Amino acid sequence: MNKGLNKVMIIGWVDGEPEVRETPNGRPVASFSVATSRTWTSSDGAKHEETEWFNVVAWGNLAEISSKRLGHGKQVYVEGRLQTRSWDDSNGQKHFRTEVIAHELIAMAENNS
C-alpha cells in the first residue's frame, strides 16, 4: 500500500490573540491566524512582497501553550497537516476552510537587538 504525505511547516507572525475554547467533553482547542511574507525582485528590478495567511488549529496541550505563549505579532513555528472542512450556512451556501492542524508549536524568542 502506498502512503501519502501531508506535512506543513511555517514560520510566521500571529495575527491577533489565539481564540481558545473547550469542546463539550472539556478538551481545549485554540485557533489563530499566522502570516508569512516573502519578497523578491522581478527581472525588471522591481521589488515585490507577498503575504500568505494560514488558519491554525491546535488541540489539547498545544492549545494551552498557544493561549499562554502566543499573541499578536509573536513569531511562531508551526508544524502540522492541512485539513479542509466544509459546512452549509443558514442560506444553504457551502463554505470551505483549509486549516493547519498543529502537531508542534514553538514560540520564537524575542529579538531585542
Mean pLDDT of 1-21: 93
* Residue 113 resides in a domain: no
Distance in angstroms between the alpha carbons of the first and the last residue of the chain = 51
Nearest partner of 108 among 67, 78, 64, judged by Cα: 78
- Total domain count, the chain: 1
Mean pLDDT of 84-98: 92
* Residue 15 resides in a domain: yes
* Residue 112 resides in a domain: no
Q: What single-letter DSSP state applies at residue 91? A: T
Domain that holds residue 24: 8-107
pTM here is 0.84
* Residue 2 resides in a domain: no
pLDDT at residue 111 is higher than 70: no
Whole-number pLDDT of residue 112: 54
What is the CATH classification number for the domain harbouring 71? 2.40.50.140
* Residue 41 resides in a domain: yes
pLDDT at residue 93 is higher than 80: yes
pLDDT at residue 1 is higher than 80: no
Nearest partner of 85 among 51, 57, 46, 45, judged by Cα: 57
- Over the stretch 15-72, which tens digit does the pLDDT of each residue have? 999 999 999 999 999 999 999 999 999 999 999 999 999 999 999 999 999 999 999 9
